[in-house]
């Protein structure tokens, strides 16, 4: 088997250590900069573009990650997120492959938007996907993200074919995603999928507003309040009930 190319250069904005929500166990979160999506509810506009100052090699990254390996135990590891990590497919692939060579578990936190011809090899190095659903219908998806849904549909099809484990995540913005109709659409999309280990509805928050101000950007959801956490939990239970009902039918 060919070893990873550890001289591959990528753009890493930061590392977050001791993460416990972005995948199982204790994890190091690797934030790859750059994202082609422009989600209305994005809270990291500072990650839209890559910066030459973020440049690093796989070898340099792995050297840092190995320091935390004793904390990972049986269930932890490394989670690659962004930005959109699929926006740097060569670096992502080589970094994930190098993680596996070092015995480190890999998680991919993604919208599923990237180059179609890179999905299979990247998913071959992925132990778990945190899959962000931005919308169900194409027009709605494009309105939310600025990009077509067909690309992420292809990613999902590849993940299903390769039988990669998956956690589903959905940000819920009040007045946009918090309807029973939208929950029913999600249920119809998720119910046929296999290898789904977890489904999480994430309440929209406004903590990214100041970042837009600092960058001189207009915040797309100006005036929209944070999602009520209790209401979000109720929607999550409804969604899970609907999925169970569809799978029994």
- What digits encode the pLDDT tens for the residues 171-209? 999 999 999 999 999 999 999 999 999 999 999 999 989
Domain boundaries 9-248, CATH class: alpha beta
Per-residue pLDDT tens for 216-247?
A: 999 999 999 999 999 999 999 999 999 999 99
Q: Average pLDDT of the chain?
A: 97
Q: CA–CA distance from 178 to each of 39, 170, 183, 185 (Å)?
A: 17, 11, 8, 12
Whether the pLDDT of residue 1 is over 80: the answer is no
Give the pLDDT confidence score for residue 249 in this predicted structure: 86
The share of the chain scoring above pLDDT 70, in percent, equals 100
Query: Is the distance from CB of 92 to CB of 85 less than 8 angstroms?
Result: yes
Domain boundaries, the chain: 9-248
């Amino acid at each position: 088997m060919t070893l990873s190319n550890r001289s591959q250069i990528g753009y890493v904005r930061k590392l977050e250590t001791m993460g416990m929500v972005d995948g199982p166990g204790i994890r190091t979160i690797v934030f790859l900069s750059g994202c082609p999506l422009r989600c209305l509810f994005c809270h990291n506009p500072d990650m839209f573009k890559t910066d030459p100052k973020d440049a690093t090699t796989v070898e340099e990254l792995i050297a840092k990650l190995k320091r935390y390996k004793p904390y990972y135990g049986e269930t932890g590891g490394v989670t690659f997120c962004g930005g959109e990590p699929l926006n740097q497919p060569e670096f992502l692939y080589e970094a994930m492959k190098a993680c596996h060579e070092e015995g480190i578990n890999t998680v991919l936190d993604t919208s599923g938007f990237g180059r179609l011809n890179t999905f299979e090899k990247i998913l071959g190095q992925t132990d778990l996907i945190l899959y962000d659903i931005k919308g169900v219908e194409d027009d709605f998806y494009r309105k939310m993200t600025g990009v077509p849904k067909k690309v992420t549909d292809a990613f999902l099809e590849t993940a299903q074919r390769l039988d990669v484990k998956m956690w589903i995540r959905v940000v819920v913005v009040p007045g946009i995603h918090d309807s029973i109709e939208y929950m029913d659409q999600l249920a119809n999309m998720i119910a046929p999928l296999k290898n789904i280990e977890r489904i999480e509805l994430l309440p929209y928050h406004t903590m990214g507003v100041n970042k837009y101000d600092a960058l001189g950007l207009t915040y797309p959801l100006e005036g929209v309040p944070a999602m009520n956490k209790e209401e979000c939990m109720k929607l999550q239970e409804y969604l899970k009930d609907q999925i169970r009902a569809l799978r029994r039918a």
